[in-house]
Amino acid sequence: MADNGYFLVKDYEKLQIQIKQDPNRKRGILSNLLKMKSRLPLFYFLFLGWRFVSFIFYTIHSSDCFFRKKHPSYFCVNSTLIPHSLELELSWQVSWIINCLLCVVILPQMPTFQGYRATFNRLSRFSRFWSLQGQLFVTIVYTVFVPALGNSSVGDMTVAIQVGFILGPIFSTMVACLWNFVPYPSKHIFNHHIYLAYRCTILLFYIENLYLFVLVSIHIAFRINGVNGDELKSQHPSVQAAIILVHAGEVSFYYDMSKFFWNKLFDDKRNLLEADNI
């Protein structure tokens, strides 16, 4: 390992010498770097496009699974509408999480961003911030424990998707909290590609959370009216009541997240986590 590091250093030194001796080589390297940088927006828009397409596949699969079998999407192994539906659902979750991480990592490039620790210290003063964390916790509890109460067989793909429905809301909440004080990129500072990428990303977050809010709301309505065909009907009435309460917390979480991103699209200079703005 040490020898490899030594040779890497020597190769780097040789490259520096070659660049000094040949200015054209330096210009060529800089040109290639500029070309790669100019293509980054294109790669990001392609990534957003795949995230949206895989999300559409997920909505078709999850809606079909729920209305046909009254199950969460990850318990429907064979979809009659879309082949490899679970793989596509997992692909959407992975792109969802990666997009969240990109939104968090790019924040230091924003002129108005005050730093992660300073932002958290500022957020901790607002009760709405802690309420949102409580809603997130309830959503995770539902995702982890409620499916385990049924008798459905759980495979590796099912577990992976459940993990996705834990990490996705966690990172989405992180994006909402960290971007709360950061206005959208100004056209006077950034180019129009960055501005458009920001708007498309926020819009996609809104659409995803809105769909999850509608789907979970219908699910809980079916539970309350006894129109659920899952195994939870065999549970004690007190357990069913507790499940409905936890499920209601999940509904409120996705509603508030969709409301946040909707407001962020039009009024991003306001502190949306202050008081009860979301």
* The pair of three-digit structure tokens given for residue 83, joined into one six-digit string: 């082949």
Query: Token digits for 183?
Result: 């206005």
Instruction: Say whether pTM exceeds 0.85.
Output: no
Rounded-to-integer distance, Cα 263 and Cα 213, Å? 16
Exposed / middle / buried, residue 31 (Cβ in 10 Å: 0-12, 13-18, 19+): exposed
Tell me the C-alpha distance between 83 and 195, whole Å.
36
pLDDT tens digits, 140-173: 998 887 666 655 556 778 888 889 999 999 999 9
Nearest CA to 93 among 61, 132, 133?
A: 61
Task: Look at 107-121, 151-165, 204-218 and tell me which has the smallest mean pLDDT.
Answer: 151-165
d(CA 155, CA 147): 13
